[in-house]
Structure 1
Amino acid sequence: MNRPYFESYIERQKAVYDAIPLDQVQRIIDLIHQCWADDRQLFAFGNGGSASNVSHFITDLGKSASDRMGKRFRCLSLNENVAWITALGNDYAYEDVYMGQLQNYARPGDLVLTLSVSGNSPNVVKAVDWANTNGLTTIALVGGKRGRVADIAHEVIVVDDTHYGRVEDAQMTICHMLCYGFIES
């Protein structure tokens, strides 16, 4: 690699950050705040790099934002429990790994947040569809291809790029804004 590649990469990343729709970020913060105020649960999930971002987000929200707010956020990453995921994937289908957990834990009025670069992961789409049908509010952070989940989630932020690294970096930045909106407010 050479310096022009890195300069171009950073330039493109800055353009992605500049295009983050801050009004939509605020709407999602408002939904998370309402979930917290109503003592509802927030469930989050994703695949691959998005799963890692979800884990980081739930840790920040559940620990640091809860410390600041004085009342704990009831939040859970559905991509953490390997036994749950492998049991559901093995006994049913991999596309059921998140929906199956929601069937056990979720109640009408709860909140679902998913991260997906493609927006088409079958397990994510199926879980969001189930959540919508069962009275949960759904939020999706997706990449520029949008995918099916962008069509069905109640609130959607599209990171207008198709490069997985840039989209995942921007999704994590949005997740940090969602958490630090509580931590630093």
Structure 2
Amino acid sequence: MIDYFSDYLRRYKSVIDQISPSEVNGLFAQLKETIDSEKQIFVFGNGGSAKSMSHFATDMVKGATDALGKKVKVISLNDNTGLITAIGNDYSFDDIFYRQLSVLANPGDLVLTLSVSGSSPNLVKAFEWAKKNKVRSIAMVGGKKGKLPALADTTIVLDSLHYGHVEDAHMLICHMIAFGFIDNAKTPG
């Protein structure tokens, strides 16, 4: 297994090497603008990406709010199990995010998702809704790209089909952004 683990790390490092500090800075700037405008940021995903979005919301609402000394409104649409199951049962699982957005989001707010495939129907529907309702959007996707890049205002693509590598790299980007706020709260820019 040593060879497998060595190869795994080699391939993972090649995905991390694709992360552009300039692109991450662009995402950071969009989130900062949203926070400074006192707008909301809605995050969501499926499977491991759902948990990464919950983690990111925690880092931002707790960590960034504490560091900045002002409200950082980041809401994970993955965290209300009752609401998700009610929407999924009464309508469709494809509706679980866009129906929440239709109640909670306003023009000028921002949505952010992580998706290795980029084509999950519930993410696509949410991004279609966001586009029609003047809610800005960011998608981070894997090598398949999928449908999200055509719908998102901003997209970061990590060119890999390996779910573990892409999900880990997405979480790394989320940590870079969150700790960009936390570690630099007193430093402009």
Question: Shorter-normalised TM-score: what interval?
Answer: over 0.9
Which position in structure 2 is the counterpart of 1:88? 87
Alignment RMSD (CA, Å)? 0.6
Per-residue CA distance 1:69-123 (angstroms, 9 max, x = gap): 1102011000110111111111111100000000000000000001111000000
State the Cα distance separating 1:141 from its structure 2 match: 0.7
- Please list, as runs of the form range in 1=range in 2, the aligned pairs for 1:73-112 lying within 5 A after superposition: 73-112=72-111
Hey, what's the Cα distance between the residues in 1 that align with 2:149 and 2:22? 17
Hey, what's the Cα distance between the residues in 2 that align with 1:134 and 1:164? 31
Which position in structure 2 is the counterpart of 1:58? 57
Hey, what's the Cα distance between the residues in 2 that align with 1:120 and 1:21? 23
State the Cα distance separating 1:159 from its structure 2 match: 1.3
Hey, what's the Cα distance between the residues in 2 that align with 1:74 and 1:50? 19
Hey, what's the Cα distance between the residues in 1 that align with 2:102 and 2:44? 14
Which position in structure 1 is the counterpart of 2:27? 28
Hey, what's the Cα distance between the residues in 2 that align with 1:114 and 1:147? 13
Match of 1:156, SS state, is strand
Match of 2:147, SS state, is helix
> Could you tell me the TM-score, scaled by structure 1's length?
0.98
Instruction: Tell me the amino acid that sits aligned with residue 7 of structure 2.
Output: S
Alpha carbons 1:66, 1:73 under 8 Å: kept: yes
- The answer for unaligned runs of 5 or more in structure 2 is 185-189
- The answer for unaligned runs of 5 or more in structure 1 is none
> Could you tell me the TM-score, scaled by structure 2's length?
0.96
State the Cα distance separating 1:150 from its structure 2 match: 1.6
Hey, what's the Cα distance between the residues in 2 that align with 1:164 and 1:119? 12
Alpha carbons 1:102, 1:127 under 8 Å: kept: yes
Hey, what's the Cα distance between the residues in 2 that align with 1:21 and 1:143? 14
Per-residue CA distance 1:132-166 (angstroms, 9 max, x = gap): 11001100011110000122100001111110000
Alpha carbons 1:21, 1:157 under 8 Å: kept: no
Which position in structure 1 is the counterpart of 2:115? 116
Hey, what's the Cα distance between the residues in 2 that align with 1:22 and 1:98? 29
- Please list, as runs of the form range in 1=range in 2, the aligned pairs for 1:127-142 lying within 5 A after superposition: 127-142=126-141
Instruction: Tell me the amino acid that sits aligned with residue 29 of structure 2.
Output: D
- The number of residues matched between the two structures is 184
State the Cα distance separating 1:60 from its structure 2 match: 0.2
Per-residue CA distance 1:23-49 (angstroms, 9 max, x = gap): 111111001001110000000000000
Which position in structure 1 is the counterpart of 2:124? 125
State the Cα distance separating 1:22 from its structure 2 match: 1.7
Which position in structure 1 is the counterpart of 2:182? 183
Point out 4+ residue stretches in structure 1 off by more than 3 angstroms: none
Instruction: Tell me the amino acid that sits aligned with residue 17 of structure 2.
Output: D
Identical amino acids, percent of aligned pairs: 49
